[in-house]
């Protein structure tokens, strides 16, 4: 499954994942491989990503760019200020208002 996380200012994450957990308007939910198509609004809260086997790129505060990585099963989390998620054909897009505390 591929995930792209975008804010109005930058791309935060792009690449292969196994799962992503997001703060939906009606409660937190998780997206796994072959998830049904969905478009949903997101509330302020934490996003949790488990990376997949292939390469991914993660925003670095030090370089202010996406840095390529290949750590399978790495857990990444960050706080969002709300936004939207779209899931279609194993492609997940998060469009969020802001990102903080990338770990």
Q: What percent of the chain has pLDDT over 90?
A: 78
Q: How far is CA 90 from the centre of its chain?
A: 13
Total Cβ atoms within 10 A of residue 6? 16
Question: Which residues lie across from 44 on neighbouring strands?
Answer: 81
Domain assignment of residue 38, given as a range: 2-100
Mean pLDDT of 23-38: 93
pLDDT at 61: 83
Q: CB-based contacts of 37: which residues, under 8 Å, 6+ apart?
A: 87, 88, 89
The two three-digit tokens of residue 59, written as one number: 């925003």
| Residue 42, number of CB atoms within 10 A of its CB | 22
What's the total number of domains in the chain? 1
Segment 57-82, tens digit of pLDDT = 999 888 888 999 988 889 999 999 99
Mean pLDDT of 91-102: 92
pTM: 0.91
Is the model's pLDDT at 102 over the cut of 90?
Answer: no
CATH number at residue 91: 2.60.15.10
């Amino acid at each position: 499954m591929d995930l792209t996380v975008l804010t109005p200012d930058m791309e935060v994450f792009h690449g292969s994942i196994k799962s992503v957990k997001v703060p939906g308007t009606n409660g937190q939910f998780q997206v796994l491989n072959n998830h049904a198509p969905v478009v949903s609004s997101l509330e302020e809260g934490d996003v949790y990503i488990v990376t997949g086997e292939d390469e991914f790129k993660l925003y670095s505060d030090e370089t202010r760019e996406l840095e390529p990585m290949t750590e399978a099963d790495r857990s990444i989390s960050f706080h969002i200020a709300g936004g939207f998620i779209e899931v279609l054909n194993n492609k997940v897009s998060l469009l969020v208002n802001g990102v903080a505390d990338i770990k």
